[in-house]
Structure 1
């Protein structure tokens, strides 16, 4: 039996490696191109290994995109904070406190995620203009949170619904208020789900382009997605700088995914198997 399974397992592994290689090839080529000079990039024969690479593209990228990266970092962290501030109590109430109309609210959250982004972007622009929030990171945080809060509530609700009610009852017997129970008992028990919601909220905000280009008109107020878009238009012949900008913008997200991957896997798995 073991002999019969070995060729099938080897074939499955080979197919998985090939699929992974195809998916990672654009990333490899972006890193490769970012280390080549402009003259090497336009050669008819591609250079697969940048043995004589240059960091000029990275120096140019950091000089021009450093401010945009800081804006994106501030907006993403602000979006995570606001998302958790709203979604954690909401998910706790829906999952543990039997809030009237909870099913209807969950359905409304699902429907909210189906609204086209361009429709919401137009509404956000009108609201931001009237509130004088255009070119403000506050507008971007509020706009990105409308995408993140429904998703975070659904993730946290799926996890908190499976927590044993004895935890809440024991805290209540000890005299803890509902807020105290949430902060001291439910929140630590939901660590994996909270990290999962935080990570996806950060990724949504970091990768947002539609709201960012709608709510910013000044270059210094734009996040990195809009900065890269405008940088490509101004440096179309300087492809190593363009590719280096893409690599620099991808590094924080890649590092965050590597650090949080086990918590994300545990949070999604736990939320998926709870009834």
Structure 2
């Protein structure tokens, strides 16, 4: 009986996994489908005459966009962690006055729609003359990522034993030295988790990119995909090929960092 239940659970799990992964398969399938067979009814479940024209177009036209997205993503990660890690340490261990208000402000910041923030940034960037700049996207993306990273890291750092900090204090380390030499190394899983989600957000951002960098030369890959979509010109194999290529860095990072993420997202579940 137990074996049958296990078999049924495994089968249901496989079916659900296949359903969730089918859009990914279809994306790859369409990226290999020739343009003249794109509107075939019914569509080919397997590309019988695969073509790599879409991928050739990607590497010919989209590499600058991919480079911009990579630069914006890495820059957003660096800026976010530089702001969020000290803030989380202060909230978790230094216990400043008004901590409850700060926590509430971080939660409220998570609820503000991105389009509202994008419009605010647009007005400020136009006045400052920094519209269509890649580093402007780094700042904008960080405003979304920092509150989330602070919440994640605060939960993680709250679980660091107080004895470690007391030992560092006895050895003569001040708050900054304790933060750099003790807290950051111990918080590796939380840092990787926050960095991963920050990068994925910046990599997949479209709202800020289209509002703040829609006409610049250094546009991200989300706008590169959007460029292929028009009223009379929908190059679906190129669109899907770009989506496949753009998905590779995110997939690789998820595979590499999955064990850190699993530890990071469960941090803070046990209090001191």
Q: Distance in 2 between matches of 1:107 and 1:178?
A: 25
**Residues in 2 aligned to 1:225 and 1:28: alpha-carbon distance in whole angstroms:** 20
State the alpha-carbon separation in 2 of the partners of residues 233 and 171 from structure 1. 60
1:212 matched residue in structure 2: 209
RMSD value, Cα: 1.6
Matched residue, 2:268 = 271
TM-score, normalising length: structure 2 = 0.95
Contact 2:84–2:150 (Cα < 8 Å) also in 1: yes
Match of 1:129 in 2: 126
Correspondent of 2:41 among 36, 41, 44: 44
> Please, what TM-score do these two structures have when normalized by structure 1?
0.94
Greater CA drift, 221-230 or 87-96? 221-230
How far apart are 1:234 and its partner, in Å?
8.0
Aligned to 2:22: 25
Contact 1:235-1:242 within 8 A present in 2 as well? no
Higher mean displacement: 203-212 or 225-234: 225-234
> Partners in 2 of 1:205 and 1:108 — Cα distance?
22
What is the total number of aligned residue pairs between the two structures?
A: 272
Give 1:10 shift. Answer: 1.8
Q: CA deviation at 1:40?
A: 2.7
Whether the 8 Å contact between 1:31 and 1:243 is mirrored in structure 2 is: yes
Q: Counterparts of 2:118 and 2:93 in 1: how far apart (Å)? A: 34
Q: Are the equivalent residues in 1 in contact too, given 2:54–2:241 (CA < 8 A)?
A: yes
Identify the residue that residue 67 of structure 1 maps to in structure 2: 64
Structure 2 residue aligned with 1:242? 239
- 1:116 maps to which of 104, 113, 118: 113
Which whole-Å CA distance do the structure 1 matches of 2:63 and 2:195 have between them?
24
> Is the Cα–Cα contact under 8 Å of residues 32 and 48 in structure 1 kept in the other structure?
yes
Matched residue, 1:180:
177
Describe the superposition over 1:80-131 as per-residue Cα deviations: whole angstroms up to 9, x where unpaired. Answer: 0000000000000110111111121011100111112221111100111111
Q: Extract unaligned runs of 5+ from structure 1.
A: none
| Per-residue deviation, residues 205-240 of structure 1 (Å, max 9, x unmatched) | 111111110001325222111121122228834321
Moved more, 90-99 or 218-227: 218-227
Is 1:58 aligned to 2:55, yes or no?
A: yes
1:83 to 76, 80, 87: 80
C-alpha distance in 1 between matches for 2:178 and 2:132? 39
